[in-house]
């Protein structure tokens, strides 16, 4: 999805209290929601047991970007020059069953949002606002998508099923759209026929509008039943071929921001809203996972999990309070979901500090604990975290903020800022450290990197063919010669390799994204794709240099002539 929000400065309001920071907790986590006032009980930093020992090893140096030769790769132009992977990186560094894939979502790729009997979703306005564009028209071009997956040598494709395409009004009772069932059956069959493993996300932000109106999105517990019903239908119709299911993509983002789409203003401003919505998201995931395990897993022999977006957080300085702030930030992002799945309840720091945090019943704790076969991690960037403290003697309060910073206290940047999106700073070792943190903190679950990528924002004035005819080589280079993406991919593959060598149970690496598409919050100008989408020429796809490089890395036969 590649939608990032600035993590809130978690603000703790309390009576003046002597803070115990002799044994600070050293870690942090992921992405974040928009700034709001969160009211906490008295902060408690001490005595939190942390098994992870990575923080002291954090490297403070910035990331160096290597610029490779810029060579165009469109038919009729000089072929690309293949740059061998660095640090002896090779496909054989990973096991034979390792998943190398690419990722997209229905919202961002399929089309206008009304074709084939599809109902309205809460986020369709993002497509409609872009001058009638059709995302990247994968509804009609899905066979082209499968073709480029195969040509790149990728063995899997992570995509989502649009809930309103299957159930236009959100429920089975209100009617099943057979055209939608047929579309996904044909799509899945095409993937399987070409030796590509489908990895299917059930919910990637596109909630049917009737459910948003009826249940205020995920603010009402009824949505748990409706999501489970939708999941049941998908398992029944597609599970004979789909062996990897993801329930909900980036629940942290949706639980903090996405659920508000179309809500009355008073509900959007509810300070407890994100905690309530997230509570129901966790229960919806667990309910669907239990259904799959109980009803389908034995016969269909698949796996089910959830994809969590995660920044890596590092202390801003060697001050113990910054280490404690890092751990709290991890708890309030990654731990918000991982602790219930692993331990059956929210992190202790959340339970102690968030007034009004919803509570799981005994039965719900039993439902959510262990409700996964794998954990997906969407990683794009890292941050430093700084603990600040303001004292108001007159009011008798202390205000503690945990602020994200893009440089540490010595001025070292967290990474190189991405060219296409201001909030992404490239930090490959952050992915390694995040994977090792999950290993040590959560018992080394099976993990897949379900999204990782880098954006660009080139200026493109006409179609690729017109640019060729006009001799506009600079625009062609901006569109297709993405050596920075090659660098980014290999650096993060190295991070995964090194995490695996240190024992992390990582089973796959999936690039965001297969092709340029409608990026949520950024429209069509920001491009993450291995393949270029030509919005001036019927969404035709062209492989960028990164796609050709990846194909060579994966030993795809189709690249022999292109990259000799």
Q: 306 — phi, psi (to 5°)?
A: -150, 145
Residues 6+ apart with CB under 8 A from 106: 159, 160, 161, 162, 165, 204, 206
How far is residue 130's CA from residue 135's CA, in Å, rounded to a whole number? 9
Which residue is catalytic, options 110, 250, 404, 519?
250
d(CA 268, CA 422): 26
Q: Decide if 440 is catalytic.
A: no
Dmax over Cα atoms in the chain, in whole Å?
Answer: 75
The structure tokens 């029944």 sit at 236
Q: By the 8 A CB rule, do 335 and 29 touch?
A: yes
User: d(Cα 505, Cα 377) in Å, to the nearest integer?
Assistant: 12
**Which residues are CB-contacts of 557 (< 8 A; sequence separation ≥ 6)?**
none
* Distance of alpha carbon 255 from alpha carbon 91, whole angstroms: 37
CB-side neighbour CA atoms (13 Å) of 154:
31
Could you give the C-alpha distances from 500 to 18, 117, 443, in angstroms and in order? 41, 45, 14
Please provide the distance, in angstroms rounded to a whole number, between the alpha carbons at the two ends of the chain: 34
Give the residue among 374, 364, 371, 236 at the shortest CA–CA distance from 293: 371
What is the spatial order of strands in the sheet that 397-405 belongs to?
10-15, 397-405, 382-392, 312-315
Q: Residue 110 catalytic?
A: no
d(CA 152, CA 211): 39
C-alpha 564/C-alpha 562 separation (Å) is 6
| Residues with Cβ within 8 Å of residue 463, at least 6 apart in sequence | 534, 536, 537, 540
Contacts of 62 (CB under 8 A, 6+ apart): 412, 413, 414, 415, 416
CA-wise closest residue to 560 among 435, 373, 551, 338: 551
Bridging pattern class, strands 540-543 and 531-534: antiparallel
Q: Where are the beta strands (DSSP E) in 31-116?
A: 99-103
Q: Which residues pair with 386 in a beta bridge?
A: 403
- Cβ neighbours for 151, distance < 8 A, ≥ 6 positions apart: 543, 551, 556, 558, 559
As a whole number of angstroms, the distance between CA 263 and CA 273 comes to 11
Which residue among the candidates 364, 386, 441, 451 is catalytic per the annotation?
451
**Cβ atoms 222, 176 nearer than 8 A:** no
Strand partners, 197: 156
Catalytic residues: 250, 451
């Amino acid at each position: 999805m590649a939608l990032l929000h600035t993590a809130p400065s978690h603000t703790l309001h309390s009576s003046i209290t002597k803070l115990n920071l002799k044994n600070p907790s050293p870690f942090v986590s992921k992405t974040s929601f928009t700034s709001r006032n969160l009211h906490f009980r008295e902060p408690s930093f001490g005595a939190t047991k942390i098994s992870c020992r990575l923080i002291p090893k954090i490297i403070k140096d910035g990331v160096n970007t290597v610029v490779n030769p810029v060579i165009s790769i469109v038919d009729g132009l000089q072929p690309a020059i293949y740059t061998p992977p660095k640090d002896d990186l090779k496909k054989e560094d990973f096991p034979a069953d390792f998943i190398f894939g690419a990722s997209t979502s229905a919202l961002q790729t399929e089309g206008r949002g009304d074709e084939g009997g599809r109902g309205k979703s809460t986020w369709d306005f993002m497509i409609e606002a872009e001058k009638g564009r059709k995302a990247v028209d994968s509804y009609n071009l899905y066979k082209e998508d499968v073709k480029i997956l195969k040509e790149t040598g990728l063995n899997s494709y992570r995509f989502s099923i649009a809930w309103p395409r299957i159930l236009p009004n959100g429920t089975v009772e209100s009617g099943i759209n057979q055209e939608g069932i047929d579309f996904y059956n044909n799509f899945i069959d095409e993937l399987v026929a070409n030796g590509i493993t489908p990895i299917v996300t059930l919910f990637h932000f596109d909630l049917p509008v009737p459910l948003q109106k009826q249940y205020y999105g995920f603010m009402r517990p009824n949505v748990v039943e409706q999501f489970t019903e939708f999941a049941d239908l998908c398992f029944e119709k597609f599970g004979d071929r789909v062996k990897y299911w993801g329930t909900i993509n980036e629940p942290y983002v949706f639980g903090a921001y996405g659920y508000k789409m179309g809500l009355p203003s008073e509900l959007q401003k509810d300070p407890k809203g994100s905690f309530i919505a997230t509570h129901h998201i966790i229960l919806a995931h667990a309910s669907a996972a239990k259904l799959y395990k109980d009803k389908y897993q034995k016969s269909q022999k698949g796996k089910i999990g959830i994809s969590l977006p995660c920044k890596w957080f590092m202390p801003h300085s060697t001050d113990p309070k910054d280490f404690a702030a890092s751990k709290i930030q991890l708890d309030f992002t990654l731990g918000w979901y991982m602790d219930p799945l692993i331990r059956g309840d929210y992190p202790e720091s959340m339970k102690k500090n968030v007034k009004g945090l919803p509570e799981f019943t005994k039965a719900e704790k039993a439902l959510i604990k262990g409700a996964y076969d794998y954990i997906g991690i969407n990683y794009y960037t890292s941050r430093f975290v700084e603990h600040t403290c303001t004292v108001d003697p007159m009011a008798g309060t202390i205000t503690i903020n945990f602020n994200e910073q893009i440089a540490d206290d010595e001025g070292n940047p967290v990474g190189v800022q991405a060219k296409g999106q201001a909030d992404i700073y490239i930090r490959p070792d952050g992915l390694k450290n995040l994977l090792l943190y999950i290993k040590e903190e959560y018992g080394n679950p099976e993990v897949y990197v379900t999204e990782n990528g880098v954006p660009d924002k080139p200026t493109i004035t006409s179609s690729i063919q017109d640019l060729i005819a006009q001799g506009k080589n600079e625009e062609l280079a901006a569109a297709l010669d993405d050596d920075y993406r090659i660098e980014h991919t290999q650096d993060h593959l190295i991070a995964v390799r090194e995490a695996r060598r240190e024992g992390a149970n990582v089973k796959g690496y999936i690039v965001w994204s297969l092709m340029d598409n409608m990026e949520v919050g950024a429209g069509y100008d920001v491009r993450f794709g291995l393949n270029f989408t030509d919005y001036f020429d019927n969404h035709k796809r062209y492989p960028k240099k990164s796609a050709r490089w990846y194909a060579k890395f994966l030993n795809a036969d189709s690249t022999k002539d292109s990259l000799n």
